Amino acid sequence: MPTTLENWNPGKAENRHPEMTYEEKEKLFLEVKEDARYEDFLYGCYECGICVSSCPSARFYDYSPRVIAQAMAREDVERIYDIISEDIWNCAQCFSCVRCPRGNNPGGLVTLLREVAVRNGLQETRDVLQGYSRVIYKVMLKGNQVSPDMLQPDFFPDWGPWVAQFSANMPVWRKAIPVDTLRGVTDAAWKTDRKTLLELYTIWFETGNMDIIKEIDEGLYDLLAEVMQEELEDQ
Ligand code: SF4
Ligand code: SF4
C-alpha cells in the first residue's frame, strides 16, 4: 500500500518476523484487545517517559514500557509482535509504572500480552520459559521457589568449586538448622504443610494453570500432574 498522509505512521515497525503472517500477528493483538482489562490499562500515551523513569527493567535491559503503551495505542501490529515475542519477558511485573499521568498500566498490558503468548504457545515463549521449568516445578509442587538440592555444580559453574562441597554436604548442614520447617529439608526451601499443598494443587487445576503448563511444556505437565493427581486422590 503506498504511503499517504492518511496511512503514514512514523516509526512503524518493520516486519522482523516474516515467518508469521500479518493476519496471525493481528489475531494475537485482537486477543489482547478483547480482554476485559485492556480498556482499563490503556488510555493513550503522552510520551512523557514517567513510566520509563520508574521502571527497574528499563535500567538494565533494552526495554521500555513507553514503547509498549505507544505500540498498543497505535495498534502497530508488527511492533506488538516484536514485543510479545521478546520484550514482555524483561518486565519484572512490579507495577511501578502505574504512576502514569494518563492512567495507563503498562505492566498490566505486559500481563495481558504474556497470557496471550502462553495461551497461543508461541515458540519464543516456550524458549524463554524453558529456562524456568525447574523453578515452575518447585513452585507448583512444593509451594516455594528454590530449594537446596537445586544447588548443583552443573547448574552453577560460575559459583566456583565450592558449589560441589555445598551440594555434597547439604543434607548434613540442613539437619543442623534449629527450625522445624527447615530441618533436614533439602527438596524444598521449607516444608509446606499437606493441607496447604493440596489447596495449591486444586488451585493450579481449577484456575487453568495446569492447562497453560500443558500448552508450553508437556513434559513438565506430565511430571506435575502425576504427583498432584495422586495426592489429591489420596486426601
Ligand atoms: S511492571 Fe514492568 S514495565 Fe512496569 S515498571 Fe515494573 S518492570 Fe517496568
Ligand atoms: S507514563 Fe504513561 S503517558 Fe507517559 S510515556 Fe508512560 S505510558 Fe505514556
Residue 190 exposed, middle or buried by CB count within 10 Å (0-12, 13-18, 19+)? middle
Ligand 2 pocket, 67 CB below 6 A? no
Ligand 2 pocket, 104 CB below 6 A? yes
Ligand 1 pocket, 95 CB below 6 A? yes
For ligand 2, what atom is nearest to the CA of residue 46?
3
Residues 124, 153, single domain; the answer is no
> In percent, how much of the chain has pLDDT > 90?
66
Cα separation, 15 vs 221, in Å, equals 34
Domain extent at residue 89: 22-128
Ligand 2 pocket, 45 CB below 6 A? yes
Residues 76, 139, single domain; the answer is no
How far is C-alpha 68 from the geometric centre of its chain's CA atoms? 16
pLDDT digits (tens, 9 = 90+) for 210-223: 998 888 888 999 99
How many helices, marked H, and strands, marked E, lie in the chain?
A: 13, 0
Inside any domain, residue 40: yes
Residues 120, 144, single domain; the answer is no
Asked which of 179-183, 211-215, 226-230 is least confident by mean pLDDT, the reply is 211-215
Q: Which of 41, 48, 67 to mutate to test the pocket of ligand 2 (most atoms within 8 A of CB)?
A: 48
Is residue 137 within 8 A of residue 220, CB to CB? The reply is: yes
Residues 27, 84, single domain; the answer is yes
Inside any domain, residue 5: no
Grid cell, residue 139, equals: 513452585
Inside any domain, residue 10: no
Residues 84, 182, single domain; the answer is no
70, 73, 77, 81: CA torsion to nearest 10: 50
Q: Which of 57, 64, 66 to mutate to test the pocket of ligand 2 (most atoms within 8 A of CB)?
A: 66
Residues 61, 151, single domain; the answer is no
Residues 145, 180, single domain; the answer is yes
Q: Domain boundary residue among 128, 147, 165?
A: 128
Ligand 2 pocket, 107 CB below 6 A? no
Residues 136, 123, single domain; the answer is no
Q: Whose CA is nearest to atom 2 of ligand 1?
A: 91
CA neighbor of 118 nearest in space, from 32, 56, 203, 40: 32
Is residue 9 within 8 A of residue 76, CB to CB? The reply is: yes
CA neighbor of 79 nearest in space, from 23, 17, 24, 33: 17
Domain count, the chain: 2
Inside any domain, residue 227: yes
- Rounded (to 5) percent helix, strand, coil in the chain: 60, 0, 40
CA of 152 to the centre of ligand 2 (A): 43
Cα separation, 171 vs 182, in Å, equals 11
CA of 49 to the centre of ligand 2 (A): 5
Residues 95, 139, single domain; the answer is no
Residue 109 belongs to domain with CATH number: 1.10.1060.10
Question: Mean pLDDT over all residues of the chain?
Answer: 90
For ligand 1, what atom is nearest to the CA of residue 65?
3
pLDDT digits (tens, 9 = 90+) for 25-84: 999 999 999 999 999 999 999 999 999 999 999 999 999 999 999 999 999 999 999 999
Ligand 1 pocket, 120 CB below 6 A? no
Residues 165, 208, single domain; the answer is yes
Inside any domain, residue 1: no
Q: Which ligand is nearest to the CA of 110?
A: 1
Q: Is the dihedral of CA 89, 95, 96, 100 positive or negative?
A: positive
Residues 123, 149, single domain; the answer is no
- pLDDT band at residue 1 under the 50/70/90 scheme: low
Q: Domain boundary residue among 63, 95, 128?
A: 128
Taking CA atoms, 89 is separated from 86, 93, 99, 107, 187, in Å, by 6, 10, 21, 11, 27
Q: Domain boundary residue among 128, 150, 184?
A: 128
Residue that has been written with the C-alpha cell 493483538 in this structure: 29
Cα separation, 87 vs 137, in Å, equals 24
